[in-house]
Chain A
Amino acid sequence: QSALTQPRSVSGSLGQSVTISCTGTGSDFDGYNYVSWYQQSPGKAPKLIIYDVTKRPSGVPDRFSGSRSGDRASLTVSGLQAEDEADYFCCSYAGMHRTFGGGTKLTVL
């Protein structure tokens, strides 16, 4: 089970929007909508920000949104704020396997 493919880094200015992609093979998503996204600030544990492709846990700002088309899932962060600077990881759950992406560093300019 190879890691899902994410860009190593993305950047955007305060107030702008950025999108992070997460690409797998057919078996990674296997027709299910079990894609989640995690935010990890330096030295901290990951935090769930998106589950089931598009849903946000309570307390996560609606600036964070998720989507999926075929073998690609995406996380969009709108209205960038300084505190959004962090690493972001996607995760797929299919066929009883949980596979993470390699992670994307988001830099807020």
Chain B
Amino acid sequence: EVQLVQSGPEVKEPGESLKISCNGSGYDFATSWIGWVRQKPGKGLECLGIIYIGDSDTRYSPPFQGQANISADKSIPTAYLQWSSLKASDTAVYYCARWQRGPNAFDLWGQGTMVTVSS
């Protein structure tokens, strides 16, 4: 089955660091573009950026440059979204999704990782 599987929910305090992950199966994950999409509670979707797993070429959406770090390890292969110092405003569901250049769309989505930042 072609799917993206994300790491489980996280509860953190402000100022803590965090790294969440996304793995693909059923297709050649290492040659795909993977995007990270944020959805705050009751709100819309926002694309933080995308990364090519094969060489870690990363494209951030301008509003999110510097807010979180997108990375990948092609040897596993896995995509990551990382924060060095979380804020309460980072509370959201984070989805990884495959960006396909042919359809120019996110055609496959992970199940989402809920990140809660609260003191």
Q: Tell me whether A89 and B103 are in contact in the complex, defined as CB-CB below 8 angstroms, given that A45-B112, A97-B62 are known contacts.
A: no
Besides the contacts A36-B105, A45-B109, A100-B37, what 15 more A-B pairs have beta carbons closer than 8 Å?
A1-B63, A34-B105, A36-B103, A45-B112, A46-B106, A91-B45, A93-B105, A97-B62, A98-B35, A98-B50, A98-B99, A99-B47, A100-B45, A100-B46, A102-B44
Which single member of B37, B104, B109, B112 contacts A51 (CB below 8 Å)?
B104
A/B interface sample: 14 pairs, CB < 8 A: A3-B44, A34-B104, A34-B105, A36-B103, A45-B111, A46-B95, A51-B107, A52-B105, A91-B47, A97-B62, A98-B50, A100-B45, A102-B44, A103-B45
B70 CB, min distance to chain A CBs, angstroms = 13
CB distance from B108 to the nearest CB of A (A): 8
Inter-chain residue pair count (beta carbon < 8 A): 67
In the complex, B59 has a CB within 8 A of chain A = yes
B-chain residues with CB within 8 Å of residue A52 when the two chains form the complex: 103-105
In the assembled complex, B110 has its CB within 8 A of some CB on chain A: yes
Query: Pick the contact of B110 from A1, A45, A99 — CB < 8 Å?
Result: A45
Contact status of A57 and B107, CB under 8 A, knowing A100-B45, A102-B44: yes
- Please name all residues of chain A whose beta carbon is closer than 8 Å to the beta carbon of B47 when the two chains form the complex: 91, 98-100
Chain B residues within 8 Å of A55, by CB: 103
B58 to chain A, nearest CB (A): 12
Q: Does A24 contact B (CB under 8 A)?
A: no
Complex interface bits, A67-109 against B, C-beta within 8 A gives 1, otherwise 0 = 0000000000000000000000101010011111111000000
